[in-house]
Amino acid sequence: MTTKRPFHDFTERLAQFADGRRGIRNPFVIVPVQPKYERRVAERLTEWATNPHRTEEFPDDGTVQLLRLDELFVETDVFELAVDLGENSQPATITETMQDRLAEELVAIMVEKIDAPAQQRHVVLLTHLGSLYPFTRASELLDELDRRNVQSTIGIPFPGNIYGGKLNFFGEESRNYYPAHQIEGRVEGVHLQ
């Protein structure tokens, strides 16, 4: 059943996991977002992060941290390599190198920056996922966070659509990350008013 309040349900689900709710495996939550509203959703999440306790189930000792993926991207070695290679390399070679290494490098940086990676009550919001296209996907980031045993509650606004129950990223089907909890419905402009 599709929700009529996907943004609200996303923050509520994050609060439930931060309060100790158990899921399939990891406290990872994804909400689809109409791509043109990705930045507005990030702004709203930034506001929510300043006072998450207004969400009823958010634990008293819970915390929220926002990590902008577009800012972390430029801190990676693979980004530096692509800039250094510049015009001396074929675009396909740069894209392939990014696709091979970006998720692992981004998550290494995230793990250093996450304030409490072993605490489920610590919510980490990963915003601006669209800036990483076509180099990596949400599923690759979540797989790598899982491999590194990050226990924080992770929330990702996913810029895309849902077709037949599957996430679709910029017109390409995205591999499902089965342990992630997906909010049914998509955040659109009407949900941000």
- CATH code assigned at 30: 3.40.50
On whether residue 109 sits in a domain, the answer given is yes
116-134 pLDDT tens trace = 999 999 999 999 998 888 8
Q: How far apart are CA 152 and CA 192, in angstroms?
A: 26
Strand pairing report for 161-163 and 166-169: antiparallel
On whether residue 110 sits in a domain, the answer given is yes
Q: How far apart are CA 40 and CA 189, in angstroms?
A: 9
pTM of the model: 0.89
Q: How far apart are CA 157 and CA 168, in angstroms?
A: 13
Range of the structural domain that residue 175 is part of: 6-70+102-192
In terms of Cα–Cα distance, which of 5, 50, 3, 30 is closest to 190? Answer: 5
51-102 pLDDT tens trace = 999 999 999 999 999 999 999 999 999 888 888 777 777 778 777 877 888 9
On whether residue 97 sits in a domain, the answer given is no
124-175 pLDDT tens trace = 999 999 888 888 888 889 999 999 999 999 999 999 876 666 667 666 666 5
Q: What is the domain count for the chain? A: 1
